[in-house]
Amino acid sequence: MDDKLREECGVFGIWGHPDAARLTYLGLYSLQHRGQESVGIVTSDGERLQAVRGMGEVNEVFTEAVLDKLPGNCAIGHVRYSTAGEVSLNEAQPFSIKCHRGEIAICHNGNFPFADAMRAELEREGAIFSSTSDTEVVLHKLARSRQTDLEAAIAEVFRHLEGAYSILILTPERMFIVRDPRGFRPLCLGELNGAYVVASETCAFDLIGATYLRDVAPGEIVTVDREGLRGTYPLPKQAPAFCIFEHVYFARPDSRIYGRSVNKSRHKMGKQLAREQPVEADIVVPVPDSGVAAAIGYAAQSGINFRFGLVRNHYIGRTFIEPAQSIRNFGVKVKLNPVRDLIEGRRVVLVDDSLVRGTTSRKIVEMIRQAGAREVHLRISCPPTISPCYYGVDTPSHTELIAANQSTEAIRQFINADSLGYLSHEGLLDACGVDEGLQFCTACYTGKYPLPVPLRAAGRSGSASA
C-alpha cells in the first residue's frame, strides 16, 4: 500500500556451493518483500568477481542466461528499496571495486546517519563517488585503511562507524559478515550441505532447504573462507536495540527474526489488542496481507468471527496505467476489493499493522462503508508512529506522521471510522518477547533514539538523541 513504512533492503550470501548464483537468486526471491527497486548478485570463482545488477525485481533481472554468466561457488546478493540515496542503476548493490586490496564487493541493509558528513570529508580529500549511497562510504574507508589485512581493516573501519548495518563483503577468497553492535537489522546464519549461508530472514533458508544455525551476534564479524567459519567481536559493545518493526510489519510471518517466530509475535499482538481495545462487532477483517496474523489473534481473543472481507490482488506490477480521476480511490481499489456479502449490514473490526499518514486507512474505511458495513472500527496492532527512523527504514517526516501531530480522536474523524484503537507500547513489547530478554529499538513510537542522529538528518528542531 502507498501509506506503509517501506521495507529497508535484504541481503543474502552463500559460501562453498557449486550452484551459488542460482541459490542466491532463490534467496533474494524469498526476500523480495524487503525491496523491489533494484537487485544484484556478485559471485566469486576463487580468482575473480563477476557482477550483475539491474533495476526491477529478481525474476525480471535474472534469467537463466544471466545466471549462466555468474560462475563460482560463492556469492552475495541484495534487493533494494532506497532509504538513502537516489533511485538509479548506480545505486543498485552489491557495489564492486578494484583497489590495492584487490577486488571487493559489498552490500548493506541499514543506514549510516552520519554518512553525509563522512562523505563530505572524503570528497574534500579527493575521493570520487559513483553513487549517492551511504554504503559507498564504507568502501572508501576500507580502501584507505592502513591495515595490511582486509579482515583487520574491516574491524578498524567499523569500530569508527556509527549506524545500523547488516553487511556482506565478498572477495575472491573470503566472505565477511558484519552486524552492528546494537543489532538494529536482522542477520542469520545457516548451513546447506556443507556450505554456509547468510540472510536477512530465515524464510530464505526454507526455500533452498538450508538449516538455520544461529543469528549473527550484534557486534560480530564473521569470516568465511576455505578453513571454515569463525566469528570475532572487535567492535565496541553496546546495548542491543533490535528493530521491533521487523515483527510488526517488515519480515515475512514465516521467518524467525531475533530467534523468535514473527507469526507468533503478530498473533500475540492481535490478542493483546483485543484485550486493550475491545468493541462490539460481528466480524474481524484483516487488511491483507500484513494484518492477517494480528486479526486472527484479535478474533481468537474476542470471540468475534474472523473473515477475509478484503481480497488482495497479488498480480499488481510495479506500474499500472491509472484511469481518469472519475474512479475514486483507484490506487487502493486495484490492490484491495471488499467481499460485499460478508460485510453488508455488519459491524466490522478492521485490523491493520500500522497507520502512518492515514490516507490509505481513510480510503479503506470508505471502501468498507461503500460495501454496506453498519459500523467500521479500525484497530492497529502497534502504537501510534510519532517519529521518523534513521536506521534503515523509509519513514515520512515528522510533519507527515499523522499521529505525531493529531490526537487519536482527530485521526478517527479524519479516517471516518466509528472507533480507532492502537496497541499499547507495553503490549507490543510483551508480544514481541521482551520477557525473553530481547531488547528493542522503539524510537518510531517513543522518539527516544538509541543512537544519536544529526539534527540535519532529523529534519526538525530539538534533540534527536535519547
**Torsion over CA of 202, 207, 211 and 216, rounded to 10 degrees?**
-30
Burial per residue of 376-386, b for 16 or more beta-carbon CB atoms within 10 angstroms, e otherwise? bbbbbbbbbbb
Please name the residues in contact with 422: beta carbons below 8 A apart, sequence gap of 6 or more. 277, 355, 379, 380, 382, 383, 384, 408
Please tell me whether 243 is known to bind a ligand. Answer: yes
Task: State how far the alpha carbon of 319 is from the alpha carbons of 38, 56, 61, in Å.
Answer: 15, 11, 16
For the chain, percent helix, then strand, then coil, each to nearest 5? 30, 25, 45
Please tell me whether 206 is known to bind a ligand. Answer: no
Looking at residue 440, its amino acid is: F
Task: State how far the alpha carbon of 281 is from the alpha carbons of 301, 327, 364, 376, in Å.
Answer: 13, 30, 18, 9
Please tell me whether 389 is known to bind a ligand. Answer: yes
Please tell me whether 188 is known to bind a ligand. Answer: no
**3-state SS assignment for residue 414:** helix
Q: Cα separation of 134 and 142, whole Å?
A: 13
Phi then psi dihedrals of residue 276, to 5 deg = -80, -30
Residue 318 has a CB neighbour count (10 Å cut-off) of 10
Contact 354, 362 (CB under 8 A): no
Burial per residue of 129-139, b for 16 or more beta-carbon CB atoms within 10 angstroms, e otherwise? eebbbbbbbbb
Phi then psi dihedrals of residue 372, to 5 deg = 100, 10
Please tell me whether 290 is known to bind a ligand. Answer: yes
Residue 140 has a CB neighbour count (10 Å cut-off) of 20
Give Cα 186 to chain centroid, integer Å. Answer: 9
Please tell me whether 30 is known to bind a ligand. Answer: no
Sheet with strand 38-44: strands edge to edge: 49-55, 38-44, 74-80, 9-15, 195-199, 188-192, 211-215
Catalytic residue among 9, 74, 107, 382: 9
Q: Cα separation of 25 and 48, whole Å?
A: 20
Contact 266, 294 (CB under 8 A): yes
Q: Cα separation of 250 and 33, whole Å?
A: 8
Please tell me whether 99 is known to bind a ligand. Answer: no
Our answer to whether residue 9 is catalytic in this structure is yes
Q: Burial of 304 by CB count in 10 Å (0-12 exposed, 13-18 middle, 19+ buried)?
A: buried
Active-site residues, by number, are 9
Residue ranges for the known binding site for [4Fe-4S] cluster are 243, 389, 441, 444
Residue ranges for the known binding site for Mg(2+) are 290, 352-353
Residue ranges for the known binding site are 243, 290, 352-353, 389, 441, 444
